[in-house]
Amino acid sequence: MSAPTLRIADLGLGFRTWAGPVEVLHGISLHINKGERVALVGESGSGKSVTARIVLGLLQELRSARISGTVEFEGRDLDRLSARERHALRGTRMSMIFQDPTSSLNPVYRIAPQFHEVLKRADPAISEAAARDRAAALLSAVAIPEPERALDSYSFQLSGGMNQRVMIAMALANEPALLIADEPGTALDVTVQAQTLALMRDMVEEHHTSVLFISHNLGVVREFADRVYVIYKGRIVEHATAEGLFADPRHPYTRALLSAVPRITGGGIPEIEDVSEDYYQPLVVHEGCGEPEGVA
Ligand SMILES: Nc1ncnc2c1ncn2[C@@H]1O[C@H](COP(=O)(O)OP(=O)(O)OP(=O)(O)O)[C@@H](O)[C@H]1O
């Protein structure tokens, strides 16, 4: 049996800061099998983005960060790879979609040369013409009506929704095994956000891409994810199928989150003000969550 796409075991993270050491992750474990869409959901500052940055191999380069535990990507321990090897994985075997497309599209270049750069990461010899053909096909696949025109545009000439589509097409251009999606669509209006998510779901289903979906938004998680890990202050507190989590939330923190949602608009995650000792209760794992593939 093949290894899971991602397996994180007992991941710890601390930073040295001017005010002294801070511990940010306290032994996180999670896995994503091939083709699974897994959400990491929690309030601001709980440790979602730093987890993603470790998976991408970015925090390993930061001298103030101290990382412990294991991160295996397609069966390979990231710790045993060189910085150059980790760099080579980004944009090829794993890629990232950010909440704001303008942060990953360069306003100074038209879309076509940006696709060329992306495709060159997996195929350094690809010609400009071949890259353009491939990019046009990718843009058609994400339902951009006039791909050739979009390729000759700058990102600021395209609508927010179009830019999201371009970004999804670029992120999937090299057929990554893992897509990390950090709050996709929150910068957009609700209709565009829903379309973007539906498109992303179709694309990853078609290519059996695994997804680590990082979100504040419980409504979106419910729509998109197969399984969910709820994170609270650097600890996973509940692990469930998406269906199980919403039907039967068991950890006090998850319950507080879900009961708070109807009171705010847009399904976003509220800051829970009544912090309770109960939120530090141990991890709750629901039945039916499965094990990482290939692990006895
Ligand atoms: N370079 C750093 N040095 C010190 N502390 C950091 C650093 N990067 C992140 N942190 C801290 O780590 C914690 C987790 O941050 P992280 O960005 O992962 O949160 P998050 O769950 O992604 O929040 P949000 O939803 O707001 O993006 C925060 O308390 C943050 O201040």
Each residue's pLDDT tens digit, 81-92: 999 999 999 999
Assigned domain for 193 exists? no
The model's confidence at residue 71, banded by pLDDT at 50, 70 and 90, is very high
Report residues whose beta carbon is within 6 angstroms of any ligand 1 atom.
Answer: 15, 17, 22, 24, 42, 44-50, 216
Assigned domain for 239 exists? yes
Assigned domain for 143 exists? no
Ligand 1 mean position, distance from CA 131 (Å): 37
Residues 6+ apart with CB under 8 A from 225: 37, 38, 39, 213, 242
State the pTM of this model.
0.89
End-to-end CA gap in the chain: 10
Ligand 1 mean position, distance from CA 45 (Å): 5
Give CA–CA dist 167/115, Å, rounded: 10
Assigned domain for 270 exists? yes
Assigned domain for 191 exists? no
Assigned domain for 16 exists? yes
Q: Count CB-CB contacts under 10 A for residue 135.
A: 26
Provide the mean pLDDT of the chain: 88
Pairing relationship of beta strands 20-32 and 6-17 according to DSSP bridges: antiparallel
Assigned domain for 271 exists? yes
Question: Which of the two residues, 227 and 268, has the higher pLDDT score?
Answer: 227
Across the range 73-77, mean pLDDT stands at 96
Give CA–CA dist 74/7, Å, rounded: 8
Number of domain units in the chain: 1
Ligand 1 mean position, distance from CA 49 (Å): 7
Give CA–CA dist 51/45, Å, rounded: 11
Atom of ligand 1 nearest to the CA of 45: 19
Give counts: helices (H), strands (E), the chain: 10, 11
**Interior angle at CA 144, CA 212 and CA 56, nearest 5:** 25
Assigned domain for 68 exists? yes
What range defines the domain where residue 15 resides?
A: 1-33+50-82+228-295
Residue 104's pLDDT is what?
A: 77
Residue 112's pLDDT is what?
A: 97
Ligand 1 mean position, distance from CA 216 (Å): 14
Question: Which of the two residues, 142 and 30, has the higher pLDDT score?
Answer: 30
